[in-house]
Amino acid sequence: MQRLCGIETEYGITLENAEQIDPVKESIELIKSYQQDPFLPVWDYDGEDPFQDERGFRAEQLNNHPDDIEEEKKDRERFANQPERSFREIKSDRILINGARLYNDHAHPEYSTPECQSLFDLVAHDKAGERIIQKCADTRSEQLDSRVLLYKNNTDFYGHSYGCHDNYLMAREVPFDYLKTCILPFFVTRQIFAGSGKIGIETEAGLATPGHYQLTQRSDFFHVEASVDTMHKRPIVNTRDEPHADPDKYRRLHGIVGDANMSEYATALKIGTTALVIDLIEKKLIPTTLAIVNPIDTIKTISHDQTYRWLLQNADGDIISAIDHQREYLALAQKHLSNQNGDTDWILTEWENTLNDLEDDPMQLTDRIDWVAKKWLLETFVESEDIEWDDPWLQSIDLEYHNINPEEGLFYGLQMKQIVTEEQIITAMHTPPLDTRAYFRGKSLNKFEDAIKTVQWDSITFEIDGKPVTVNMNSLANPELAKKYNEALDLSPNPQTLVEKLGLQ
């Protein structure tokens, strides 16, 4: 892989034995517990515009779930006398020394990994996020009469779905219509190995069909093919135009269709295969014949299919399986992308092996793929307890699979394949990736925290001699330039020296 990637994960939050909680308040307090010093909001929101659509226009409004609209009213009431303070206080942004961002997003604590160029760096930083946010929960629990519980999942079983978004920097020159035509069908069928599994079929109105086991937690919640929205009437292809890089050269593919994965292997396969498909799209090597009929219905029928035949109709009218559809992408990647680097070769090998195992017998993947591991867990429980599949007990088992407390979460009791070491995860909790601009962000915060005025994904503003000096990192998508900036930072004893080395003063 030679592409900047990142993962944003919203976590489910509750308090042990609490009948009702204020999730916004608990998310805010959880994030503030990352550090015990006073909270100083330094994240710069000026570069964020969720209304800007990459199809060339700016949306007038975004669709929200009715419950979210009610939550926004409550948020305004919290700081009725301090409207300027309310937004930043509710967000409670923390910029971490490993280059990541931790904040409250729509009543969920969210961890955004730093930008990574190595697939295995990204997996380590995703797992590091679990550790960091669990440490926050432990600290917050000490302040309460109840324990904070966190879940790396995507549904509350009451009609609310929260996201795990995978992000990829890619060439702006690719026409959007071609990007959509190529990536949309891939997203629809990717779930056969990237899904986290779920008991029940759900709609925005709540749990509609208990007891029905499906591949993904998110597929029930997609209603349109492409849109700028992320929270209601969700699209399979999101069109938000926030590249956080040079907008003339790059766009950010903001993927909102995926599940949050507990499995390291599933995360790596999900991100890695998507990155290779983007390589093919940029090279214009994917034929439009890979398009599928009725993608909105198909993403649900594949997830719900109990036979695991996963049939769909392609643009030519042929009926094929999702496995064979994925093999079309795989064959193109093998032909054009093989022998580039270790990451790519790992992805191609594991992609092929996984598709073969899914076709032969999905239960061979209990140690690698989340939906398969969870299914085995539920089947074992149903048999041992002699209960039916619509028993509410199974919903609790489903949820506890995603509990990120390693002493309690059911995932941690399974023999799942690991692809990064414990040492790599611990290092990622404190150290940003060495080969991207995330190093510049995290290390600047670590070295010069008192001099930092504001931070964004693509810029840092220092206060030097009472004046703001901004380091624009838009061009640091170039790894050679990122290396130059990172080396200058390492050699600078203070911000003044740094900006002089970078030619900014």
Q: Which residues contact 337 (CB under 8 A, 6 or more apart)?
A: 276, 279, 280, 344, 348
Q: What is the distance between the alpha carbons of residues 268 and 278, in angstroms, rounded to a whole number?
A: 15
- Residues 304, 382 contacting (CB under 8 angstroms): no
CA distance 456 to 474: 11
Rounded CA-CA distance 150/11 in Å is 6
What is the rounded (10 degree) CA torsion for 44, 46, 49, 54? -110
- Which parts of 92-250 fold into alpha helices (H)? 119-143, 176-194
Measured distance CA(147)–CA(138) in Å, rounded: 8
User: Are 381 and 203 contacting, i.e. CB atoms less than 8 angstroms apart?
Assistant: no
Q: Are 122 and 419 in contact (CB under 8 A)?
A: no
Give the integer Cα–Cα distance in Å for 324 and 72.
44
Catalytic residue among 67, 68, 75, 105: 105
Q: Which helix (H) or strand (E) holds 168?
A: strand 164-171
Q: Which amino acid is at 291?
A: A
Going from the C-alpha of 162 to that of each of 103, 407, 468, the distances in angstroms are 14, 24, 37
What is the phi-psi region of residue 308: left when phi exceeds 0, alpha when psi lies from -120 to 50, beta otherwise? left
Distances (CA, A) of 249 to 169, 346, 423: 10, 29, 36
The closest alpha carbon to 499, from 465, 458, 470, belongs to 470
Residue 131 φ/ψ, nearest 5 degrees: -65, -45
- Tell me whether residue 177 is one of the annotated catalytic residues: no
* Catalytic (active-site) positions: 105
